[in-house]
Structure 1
Amino acid sequence: MEVSGSRIGRTKVIDAPEGGDLVDICDYHLAPIPFSCRSASCGTCHVEVLEGADLLEPPEGPEAELLELLGGGPYRLACQARVRPGPGLVRLRPALAD
């Protein structure tokens, strides 16, 4: 699977191993996503999933609760969003990006 994201006007496509979370995958490939707690409690790593949401494990537990408080929609917490097996492309951007 590939993960693509835009941050400050640039896009980077990276390979993503199944089961990894988006924060670790992007950090490893020098395409960091801001984060703080890694436990779905702060929302710092809130990202908008522009494409490929079905390629991520569904949100559950604390992530699902925080996403509901943040208004739902096509968003995930990158520290909790884990990659499912199989080929595809996930496009994302920080939730506060315009």
Structure 2
Amino acid sequence: MARAQVTFKDIDLTVSAPAGTRVIELSEKVGSGIVYGCREGDCGTCLCQVVEGQENLSPPSELEQKLLREHFAGKQQRIACQAQILGDVTLKPA
């Protein structure tokens, strides 16, 4: 199974994760400061900033696109409970 290196800038930690892992799952495991509420894409609380590797996350679903618009998110921001890791990426809380 393919793996990716994921760096959380807020805690200065890089870990290896299987491709397809949702950002929020990994963030919770390592203790990153990406906060969340529902974990289902309803609240948008888990907005995170992609520092590097935007192309290594899954494309935003219609639901995620809606949440990003509602929260006036920038181009480098994603909803952590929706975004799946496909390759190396560096993230931090929004």
TM-score (norm 2): 0.84
Q: Between Structure 1 and Structure 2, how many residues are aligned?
A: 90
Q: 2:20 is matched by which residue type in structure 1? A: G
Root-mean-square deviation (CA, aligned residues, Å) is 1.5
**Match runs of 1:7-86 below 5 Å:** 7=10, 10-31=11-32, 33-71=34-72, 72-84=74-86
Tell whether the 8 Å contact from 2:33 to 2:93 is kept in structure 1 after alignment: no
* SS at structure 2 position matched to 1:58: coil
Q: What stretches of structure 1 move > 6 A for 4+ residues in a row?
A: none
Matched residues in 1 for 2:23 and 2:6: separation? 8
Query: Secondary structure of 1:16's partner?
Result: strand
State the TM-score, normalized to the length of structure 1: 0.81
2:91 matched residue in structure 1: 92
Query: Unpaired runs of 5+ in structure 2?
Result: none
Q: Which residue of 2 aligns with 1:5?
A: 8
What's the % identity of the aligned pairs? 34
Structure 1 unaligned residues grouped into runs of 5+: none
CA distance in 1, matches of 2:57, 2:18: 12
Partners of 2:48 and 2:32 in 1: CA distance? 13
Q: CA deviation at 1:90?
A: 0.7
